[in-house]
Every structure is written in structure tokens, then in C-alpha cells.
Amino acid sequence: MSLTARIKDHHSETRLFVARVILSSVIGIILLGTVVARLIQLQIYDHELFAEQSQGNRVRTEAVPPTRGLIFDRRGRVLAENLPAYQLELIPEQVPDLDDTLARLAGIGLIKEEDIPRFNGLSRSGPRFKPITLRFRLSEDEIANFAVQRPRFPGVDLQPRLVRHYPDGELIAHAVGYVGALSTADLGRLDAAAYSGTSHTGKTGVEHFNEELLHGHVGFQQVVTNALGRQVPVETRDFSDALPASESPKPGNNLYLTLDLDLQRIATRALDGKRGSIVAIDPSNGEILALVSAPSFDPNGFATGMSPSEYNALQNDEGRPLFNRAVRGTYPPGSTIKPMLSLAALEVGATNLTRRSVCIGWYSLPGSSHRYRDWRPEGHGEVDLHDAISQSCDVYFYEISRDIGIDNMHLYLDQFGLGRQSGLDMDGESDGLNPSREWKRQAFRERADQVWFPGETIIASIGQGYMLATPIQLANAVAALGARGDRFKPHLVAAFEDPITGRRTLVAPERLPRVNIDNEFYWDNILAAMHDVMQSPTGTARAAGANARYEMAGKSGTAQVFSIAQEEEYDEDEIAERLRDHALFVSFAPLENPRIAVAVVIENGSSGSRVAAPVARAIMDQYLNGTDDAL
């Protein structure tokens, strides 16, 4: 029997081969179809998306910072401007030896040695092809000095920029404020996109409060970059035409302030060598005519860059030039509140226009041996309310204070705005303090300390004790006196202007609640007494009011810095200057329809009528004898 074995089955192999070919073809067709479909999607449907992304790989959007708005005084004189200047900039990747370069720049006086570590840190914190600013503004001599030596400093160059400049420097430092380099805190509160490309922002004063108006709107431009992000020049027309459109920045609004530069100058000169503040206001609308704090400082140092040692010198200056006394300084108002308390006393029946008292130079509460002394040791003799104001008799107010009561004092002084922020368009304003029984209960923890004592009412009646007020509050209060109870919120910005169209928008005055005095006749008597303070033979400030060409009214104040014992006498010549009394004076003019109200505070000036009153007179003379002030 023979066995036959099939060695090769051509039919089966052919079928298997054909099946594999078909399968491979189907897979190949599917894969090819997938590729074709993807290509169609990429080239047709997603063309715009990927074209835009592709463009983004070679084109970078850079912010173009806006030009900051200008600031003018009420007569159109420039208070803050932008000047072209040359900055000294360094590109780290182009500098062979950074430490050596910085050291040699310090050697020729273009940078300070103390700033070198900061510049080293800046060079490491960002891309090495990005420039870092070494100096914001160079003088002509410094520019010439560097130009001669430029070949010695590869990677260091001068670049033109606009730099904030304050032509009148110290005159307007506390009112206008200043701009400074953006800090980490600034970047946290500001819109990062809106400040792309911007290096400075308002720090204090008008510059800070009106930052949104002054800054403007950022623009952008497209620049071509290589793979490392460095900008490369556009060499062909076709490529430049392919760049997306740019947008020009919109400059910030120009601001017109209510300030009068002439008054600022007079006030600054009057406080030369002194510590204190002067605020002048228009009683008819709340416009701030002058706002000065002394000593002052040059705000240009902050705009152009200040070294740590320079800043520390300002911070540690004994005169505290950076402290804005006009809105942040709090002082016992002294006798400047007597006209306001007189209105309160008349309203609540604590006194009347005919009541007379005998001032013997001191006053004691019933059953107490403690003497509350008058500023005149021998006393004023027999006085009525009019005399008590014009001659500033303390004893008269000691007597009527018990019938007024501290809570009524608080109520009426509050109507004049004492003890709370005035609402001025500037940040950092202090509240001051207008005490009451309720305030003391809230202010002290111990129950024994929460009791309001009769003696505290006595000293409150002459603006001492717990009572504190800021110069802006005193100016606003005396403006309300001059306007017979009409009050306006004080403000510095009079108008803002679109720099492109020139359209100017005026800021309308904002009325505040009137001082509630039912009997209008009381105003006549109190203002007449304030007039006699300056222009009667017995007025405490008669020397300052002598020979004036207009009728004026005022009230002096002297505020103790420290207490003296009953048996001690106050001797100005024997105590340290910093322990002398503060000198205060408030005034307005003309007597009828006043156009200006002034508050003067001179720290440790000793006498309000002798030291502060002539300052107020000089300011009123300048303003009332000046030219038209309408915007």
C-alpha cells in the first residue's frame, strides 16, 4: 500500500496571499484616507487657526505705554509734565563682564555703588536680552560724559524716554504728589494688562487719587522675533504687510486743579524753616486754593529714581518732610473752635448775647481746688460772648461749657466736620477726634476709664484734651462759618480734559448738609466778634488785621503740647522748641460773601495771633488782590 503526501498546496497559498493583500490594501487605504482627511482639516478647515499660531511664533505683541496726562493749576500753569530725557540702559547678554561694567560706571559717577547689587539682581530676574534701566534721567553733562566713553561699555546705551517732571518741586509736592516706579504691591492692585510697558504709577496726592484718569489706555505693536524671542528687523515689504494691525495708545486726561500756584508759593515761603501746614479754601464751592505742608521735599527724585540712601535720609529726617501735615497731621484745635461752640451755646441756651461774666484769670469747678487757667494771668475782667471771642477769654468758655455739655459740643462740632474725614479727593486723610461720652466708652477697656469727667468738658471747651483736628478740617470748618452754615466737600480737581479732542469736563461742587442753627441772627453776632478779632483795638490778632483794604474775620488758637503743674509758669524761653505750644489761626475774607478761608497750623510756633495770623493775612492779600481766577 502506497502513501501519498501533499507537499505544497498552491491553491490555499494563493487564497491566503490574496486575502493578505486585500487586508493590507484596505488598511493602507484607511490610513491614507485618515492622513488625507487630517490634511484637509489642517489645510482647509483649521487653516486660519494654525496660520495665526504660526504667525505668533515669529510675531510678538508688545505693549506701547500711554503718555501720562498733564496737571495744571487753576490758571493753566503746568504743575506736572512729561519731559524727554535719556535713560541709561544695559542689556546683560551684550555685557562681557557685568560686575566690571557696573563698577566702572560707578567709578565715573553714572550709578551709585550701593545700587550695584540691585542691578545684578535685575539682570538675573528676566531674559538676558531685555534691557534694565540703570538711570531714569541723565543731565547734559552726564550724557556728554558717557558719550565720550561709550566704546568702553559694550551693552550699555542711552535711550530716549518721557520722564515725569514737576517744575515747582517742593511747592506742590504734598498736593500734587508724585509718581514712582511700579512696586510688587502696585502690580497686585493694578490691572497688569493696562500697565504693560508702564514703569511708573502715582504714589501720593493727586497723582495717586486720579491714577485712572491720568494713566490713559495702553496700545500695542507687532514685532518680529527669532526662536529665542529676540526682535529682528523686518527687511521685506511683503513681510511687513503681513503683520497684524497695531493700536496706538490713548494718552491720559489732563487735570486742571483748583490750586493757585501764587498762593502755594506765598504759603511755602511763609513756612520756610518751620513745621506746619496751610490750607486755603473757597467757601462758596469747596475748591482748595492752597495746600502746603512743611517741610517739603522734591518729588522729582521719586520720578527719576532715588537711591536707598537718599530715600532713607528723607524717611529719617527729623522734620518728617514726607508726612502730609495738611491732611494727616492732627492737632488740638485750641481756641479756633470758640466761634463754633458759641453758636452751640446760643442754640442750647447755655448763654445769651447779653450775659456777662468776670474773668479773674482762672476758673474752678464747684467743690474743687483745681484751677483752669486763662491765657492772660491777670484775667479779662467783665466780658460778654462777643468779648470772649474777640479777646479769646478762656474762663468765659470754661463757665458755659458745663451747660453746653460734651455731647452737645460733639453734636455741633460734628456739623462743622471736625473729627471726621472731609472727603477731600486725596488718600490718607486722618479722622481727627471729636470726643463724646459714647466715644470714651468705646475707646477704653477699663470701666473706670470710660467715665466722662466734668474737667474733661472744661478743657474740651478750649479745644484741648482729647480733641484733635486736621488743617483741612479746620479750613473747611471756618469756610462754613464764613458761609453762614453752607458747606461743600473740599476738592482739588476742577476739571479734566481729553488731550485729543480738547474737550474739558468741569467737576461740579458737592454740597454737604448745612450747619443747623435755627436763629440766623446768631450768625451776625458770632461773625462780628470774629471780625473784631482782627480789626478792633482789643482783638487778639489786631496787628495782623491792621490797614487791610478789605473786611476780614478770624480766630487765633494756641494749643499746649504738654501739661504743666498748677504751681508752674509757662516760660517760652526756657523750654525746648519741640515742647512749645502750637500756633493756629483760622480766618476768612471778605466778611460778607467770603471768597477765601484759611487755616494755618505752625508746630511749636507758640502764639497763634502773633505767629500764625500774619501768615493768613499774607495769603488773603495775595488772593484778594490778584487777577481773575475762573477756569
User: What CATH number should be reported for the domain holding residue 591?
Assistant: 3.40.710.10
Q: pLDDT value at position 283?
A: 97
| Closest by Cα among 475, 355, 347, 496 to 418 | 475
Q: How far apart are the first and last CA of the chain?
A: 133
Report the amino acid identity of residue 352.
N
Does the residue 196 lie in any domain? no
**Structural domain contains residue 576:** yes
pLDDT, tens digit, for every residue of 208-255?
999 999 999 888 776 666 554 455 555 544 445 555 567 788 999 999
Of 99, 125, 150, the last residue of a domain is: 150
Are 623 and 280 spatial neighbours (Cβ–Cβ below 8 Å)? yes
Residue 630 has pLDDT above 50, yes or no: no
Q: Give the sign of the dihedral formed by CA 387, CA 392, CA 394, CA 399.
A: positive
- Residue 589 inside a domain? The answer is yes
The pLDDT score that the predictor gives to residue 119 is 79
Which one of 110, 127, 150 terminates a domain?
150
The answer to whether residue 575 scores a pLDDT higher than 70 is: no
User: Would you state the pLDDT for residue 609?
Assistant: 87
- Whether the per-residue pLDDT at 267 is higher than 80: the answer is yes
Q: Which run of H or of E encompasses 304?
A: helix 300-304
Q: What percent of the chain has pLDDT over 70?
A: 87
What's the structural domain count of the chain? 2
pLDDT band at 608 (very low <50, low <70, confident <90, very high): confident
User: What is the C-alpha to C-alpha distance for residues 331 and 581, in angstroms, rounded to an integer?
Assistant: 11
The pLDDT confidence band at residue 444, using thresholds 50, 70 and 90, is very high
Residue 496 resides in a domain = yes
Say yes or no: 135 and 270 in one domain. no
Measured CA to CA, the distance from residue 213 to residue 416 in angstroms comes to 31
pLDDT of residue 569: 54
Looking at the chain, the whole-number percentage of residues with pLDDT higher than 90 is 56
Distance of alpha carbon 184 from alpha carbon 195, whole angstroms: 13
If you write DSSP's letter for every residue of 18-63 in order, what string do you get? HHHHHHHHHHHHHHHHHHHHHHHIIIIITHHHHHHHHHHHHEEEEE
* 142/265 same-domain check: no
Q: What are 474's three cell numbers?
A: 479746620
**444 contacts 394 by C-beta, under 8 angstroms:** no
Q: Is 335 a catalytic residue?
A: yes
Which range of residues forms the domain containing residue 94?
86-150
Q: Does pLDDT of 342 surpass 70?
A: yes
- Distance between CA 175 and CA 161 in Å, rounded? 26
> How confident is the model at residue 20, as a pLDDT?
83
Q: 414-428, pLDDT tens digit by residue?
A: 999 999 999 999 999
Predicted confidence (pLDDT) per residue in 159-207, tens digit: 888 889 999 999 999 999 999 887 777 877 888 778 877 878 999 999 9
201 in a domain, yes or no? no
Pair 141, 280 in one domain: no
Options 123, 296, 335, 556, the catalytic residue: 335
Of residues 328 and 11, the one with the higher pLDDT is 328
The most distant pair of C-alpha atoms in the chain lies apart, rounded to whole Å, by 165
Q: Are 436 and 420 in contact (CB under 8 A)?
A: no
pTM over 0.75: yes
Q: Are 138 and 277 within one domain?
A: no
104 in any annotated domain: yes
b/e for 125-141, b at 16 or more Cβ within 10 A? eeeeeebbbbbbbbeee
Residue 256 pLDDT class (50, 70, 90 cuts): very high
Q: How far apart are CA 538 and CA 357, in angstroms?
A: 17
- DSSP letter at 432? -
- Chain centroid to Cα 113, Å, comes to 32
Same-domain status, 507 and 374: yes
Q: 478 CB contacts (<8 Å, ≥6 apart)?
A: 336, 555, 586, 587, 588, 597, 598, 599
State which of 132, 150, 168 marks the end of a domain: 150
Does a structural domain hold residue 213? no
Q: What nine digits make up the cell of 438?
A: 459714647
- 31 lies in a domain? no
